[in-house]
Chains A and B, each alone.
Chain A
Amino acid sequence: DTEVTQTPKHLVMGMTNKKSLKCEQHMGHRAMYWYKQKAKKPPELMFVYSYEKLSINESVPSRFSPECPNSSLLNLHLHALQPEDSALYLCASSQVGGGLATDTQYFGPGTRLTVL
């Protein structure tokens, strides 16, 4: 199984809602990533988990809260988002993480988030 799955595919939420994005991989990878991508911009790294511990937080606002319950699952909890947070949220995993330059990241198809 070389797939990274993400749910839901689309999410529309109000600014007062609480929602979660989910990501799952069964490749035995030990690093997982959240990216945010806005139209006509490159993917922007948000968080990296390595061996289930948060290793990188790219100064993301606290209204985004990541969680890694185990090595196969990665969640992104959303609360009090702003309309400018509307974007495609991509999850990825890699075999090792931990700053290995050649570690290939495998991506899910993303969740298209719209904040009203």
Chain B
Amino acid sequence: ILNVEQSPQSLHVQEGDSTNFTCSFPSSNFYALHWYRWETAKSPEALFVMTLNGDEKKKGRISATLNTKEGYSYLYIKGSQPEDSATYLCASYAGNNRKLIWGLGTSLAVNP
């Protein structure tokens, strides 16, 4: 059974701070890593799908890197804004079970 872990569990930063958090996943039998952003009372929003070791993806001020050999991905937010406040979830695709295995998320609060 896969375990996907995210740290920290929660994070409070000031507006303008840059921040990052971690998603750890089993490196064996890796297929793909998905990042989502989930604002309260809204739908989870897909950010990135990553498959290749060393891959880096960027969307505005948010970027992510992937290390499939050691089983981790970092999500970076540059110059955090209050609208970045959300829970950031990662999920690793479990090929044997044909489904996403989700982490618990990192809850980010950006204070103005």
**B-binding residues in A (CB < 8 A):** 4, 40-43, 45, 48, 56, 58, 90, 99, 101-102, 104-110
Number of interface residues of B (CB under 8 A): 24
A102 with B43: CB separation less than 8 A: no
Residues from chain B with a CB closer than 8 A to the CB of A56 are 98-99
Complex CA gap A90/B41 in Å reads 12
Q: Interface segment, B58-66, B76-84, B101-109?
A: B101-109
B110 within 8 Å of A (CB atoms): no
Cβ contact within 8 Å between A109 and B32: no
Instruction: Determine the residue in chain A with the shortest Cβ distance to B4.
Output: A42
- Determine whether the beta carbon of A107 is less than 8 Å from that of B43: yes
Most buried by A among B31, B49, B100: B100
Per the 8 Å Cβ criterion, residues 27-61 of B in contact with A are 31-32, 34, 36, 41-46, 49, 51
Distance to closest chain A CB from B91 (angstroms): 8
Closest Cβ neighbor of A40 among chain B residues: B104
A32 to B51, CA, bound (A): 22
When distances are taken between beta carbons in the complex, the residues of chain B under 8 Å from A41 are 104
Q: Is the CB of B104 within 8 A of A42?
A: yes
CA distance A43 to B36 in the complex (A): 12
State which of B31, B43, B49, B102 has its C-beta within 8 Å of the C-beta of A108. Answer: B43
Interface contact A109-B46, CB-CB below 8 Å: no
Taking A102-B51, A107-B44 as contacts, is the C-beta distance between A45 and B99 under 8 angstroms?
A: yes
A113 to chain B, nearest CB (A): 16
